[in-house]
Chains A and B, each alone.
Chain A
Amino acid sequence: MAKVMLGESEKWFIIHGIQDDMRNDGRSCEDYRHIEVETGVVSNTHGSSRLRLGSSELLVGVKVELGSPDPKAPNEGLIHFHVDCSPNADPSFQGRGGEDLSANISCILTRIYCNKSSIDLNTLGIIPHKQCWVVHVDVLILECGGNLLDAVSIAVKAALHNTGVPNIQVTDGDEGTQEISLPDDPNDVKFINTVNAPVLVTISKVGSRHVVDASSEEELCCNASLVMGVTKRGRTTGMRKMGGGSLDPESIPEMIETGKNIGRQLHISLDKLLKTEQGMAEDIEKAGYL
Chain B
Amino acid sequence: FELISDEGYRFDGRKPSELRRVRCNMGVFTQADGSAYIEQGNTKVLAAIYGPHEASNNMRSRVCLDKCFINCEFSQAMFSSAERKKRSRGDRKGKDMSAHIKQTFEAAVRTQLYPRSQIDIYLQVLHSDGSLYCACVNAATLALIDAGIAMKDYVCACSASLTKETSLIDINHVEELAGCAEFSAAIMPKLDQIIYSELNGRIHQDELGQLVDAVTNGCKDIFAVIDRFEVITDNTEIAVSPRSLHS
Contact = CB atoms under 8 A, between A and B. Distances in A.
Contacts of B197: none
A163 B235 CA distance: 41
Interface in A36-66: 42-45, 48, 55, 57, 59, 61-63, 65
A88 interface: yes
B31 A95 contact: no
A84 B84 contact: no
B50 interface: yes
Contacts of B30: 55, 143
A284 interface: no
B127 A43 contact: yes
Interface stretch (B4-12, B72-80, B204-212): B72-80
A55 B30 CA distance: 7
Contacts, number: 96
A290 interface: yes
Contacts of A45: 79
In this complex, the member of B31, B32, B80, B82 whose beta carbon has the largest number of chain A beta carbons within 10 angstroms is: B31
A57 to B, nearest CB: 7
A84 B94 CA distance: 15
B166 interface: no
A274 to B, nearest CB: 20
A57 B29 contact: yes
Interface residues of B, number: 36
Contact of A95 (B46, B78, B90, B124): B90
B124 A289 contact: no
Contacts of B50: 1-2, 91
Contacts of B81: 44
Interface string B1-45: 000000000000000000000011100111110010101001000
Interface string A1-36: 110000000000000000000000000000000000
7 contacts: A48-B79, A61-B78, A82-B78, A86-B77, A87-B48, A88-B32, A142-B46
Interface in B58-104: 71, 73, 75, 77-82, 84, 86, 89-90
A219 interface: no
A84 B88 CA distance: 10
Interface in B124-156: 124, 126-127
Nearest 10 CB-CB pairs, A to B? A61-B79, A88-B48, A289-B37, A138-B78, A87-B122, A2-B31, A63-B84, A86-B124, A88-B122, A45-B79
In this complex, the member of B42, B53, B81, B120 whose beta carbon has the largest number of chain A beta carbons within 10 angstroms is: B120
Given A57-B29, A290-B23, 11 more contacts: A44-B79, A55-B30, A61-B79, A82-B78, A88-B47, A136-B78, A138-B78, A144-B31, A145-B31, A290-B24, A290-B37
A280 to B, nearest CB: 21
Contacts of B37: 288-290
A183 B145 CA distance: 47
Contacts of A63: 79, 84
Contacts of A92: 56
